[in-house]
């Protein structure tokens, strides 16, 4: 679990924060990390660090919510180096599956298909799923397909599963498994039954990656590469390919 949402009821982004509130938030953050963050050793290190910061008075001079959120976020990142792990106020919270993702689909020279999109919105959003379906329809008769993830910041694993399912001959192939530490459970993701007219099991597939490619984008590239289904081209990505499904830890006080 690696995403933290810090929110306040009135939506104020820079209001005052009391010493009592800060102490409560640090304590709740420690509990949440130790209970739910995927890497227990990292959670323990972060919890110890922010406790030390609180006890030493490091947060004492901070008197507004945004500055406190930013300082906590920096402390979390300095230890975890996990860019999924953020503290943001509810007013500024944008989730990947709130707005339907648009897909840039076109046919390049020599009948090469091309898809590009900036996030994986959930398939539960009908418009997002429809957009992906329409994009796949556009490139189905090309002789090779490029999926450009160079500006993709990740998103919902169910859309990764939906897209990836089109590149195999049948349903039921294990694509990925997401482990949740605090429940000690694993959720497997298998290739799905899809519209057979859009199945591209033999389509040559190329994935473009950059240093900006993040999270679910890395997960898709890794899975396709591990199964020798696609050629990955480009730069080394950010290195945060583990998923964060169900990872909203909400600190209500901030």
Asked if residue 174 is part of any domain, the answer here is yes
Asked if residue 239 is part of any domain, the answer here is no
Q: Are residues 176 and 217 in the same domain?
A: yes
Q: Are residues 130 and 152 in the same domain?
A: yes
Query: Pairing relation of β-strands 185-190 and 174-180?
Result: antiparallel
Token pair 């110890």 in the structure block, residue: 48
Please tell me whether residue 214 adopts helix, strand or coil conformation. Answer: coil
Structural domain of 189: 104-234
pTM of this structure? 0.69
Backbone angles phi, psi at 66, to 5 degrees: -65, -40
Q: Are residues 57 and 109 in the same domain?
A: no
Q: How many domains does the chain have?
A: 2
Asked if residue 19 is part of any domain, the answer here is yes
Q: Are residues 121 and 211 in the same domain?
A: yes
Asked if residue 251 is part of any domain, the answer here is no
Q: Which two tokens stand for residue 231?
A: 């050629």
Q: Are residues 109 and 71 in the same domain?
A: no
CA gap 149, 219 in Å, rounded: 11
pLDDT tens, per residue, the chain with 254 residues:
333 444 444 444 568 889 998 998 899 888 888 888 888 898 899 999 999 999 999 999 998 888 898 899 899 889 888 877 777 665 444 444 445 578 999 999 999 999 999 999 999 989 999 999 999 999 999 999 999 999 998 889 999 999 999 999 999 999 998 888 878 888 999 999 999 999 999 999 999 999 989 888 999 999 999 999 999 999 988 665 454 433 444 443 34
Asked if residue 65 is part of any domain, the answer here is yes
C-beta separation of 149 from 221 below 8 A? yes
Q: Which two tokens stand for residue 63?
A: 């008197």
Q: Are residues 200 and 230 in the same domain?
A: yes
């Amino acid at each position: 679990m690696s995403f933290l949402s810090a929110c306040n009821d009135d939506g104020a982004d820079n209001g005052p924060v009391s010493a009592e509130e800060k102490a409560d938030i640090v304590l709740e953050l420690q509990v949440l990390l130790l209970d739910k963050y995927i890497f227990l050793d990292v959670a323990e290190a972060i919890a110890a660090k922010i406790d030390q910061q609180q006890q030493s008075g490091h947060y004492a001079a901070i008197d507004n919510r945004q500055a406190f959120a930013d300082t906590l976020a920096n402390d979390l990142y300095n230890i975890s180096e996990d860019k999924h792990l953020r503290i943001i106020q509810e007013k500024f919270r944008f989730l990947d599956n709130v707005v339907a993702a648009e897909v840039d689909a076109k046919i390049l020279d020599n009948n090469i298909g091309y898809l590009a999109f900036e996030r994986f919105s959930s398939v539960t959003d009908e418009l997002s799923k429809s957009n992906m379906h329409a994009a796949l329809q556009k490139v189905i008769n090309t002789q090779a397909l490029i999926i450009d993830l160079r500006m993709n910041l990740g998103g919902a694993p169910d859309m990764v599963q939906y897209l990836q399912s089109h590149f195999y001959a049948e349903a039921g192939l294990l694509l990925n498994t997401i482990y949740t530490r605090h429940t000690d459970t694993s959720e497997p993701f298998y290739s799905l039954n899809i519209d057979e007219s859009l199945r591209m099991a033999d389509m040559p597939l190329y994935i473009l990656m950059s240093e900006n490619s993040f999270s679910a984008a890395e997960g898709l590239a890794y899975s396709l590469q591990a199964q020798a289904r696609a050629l990955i081209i480009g730069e080394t990505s950010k290195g945060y390919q583990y998923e964060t499904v169900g990872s909203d830890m909400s600190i209500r006080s901030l």
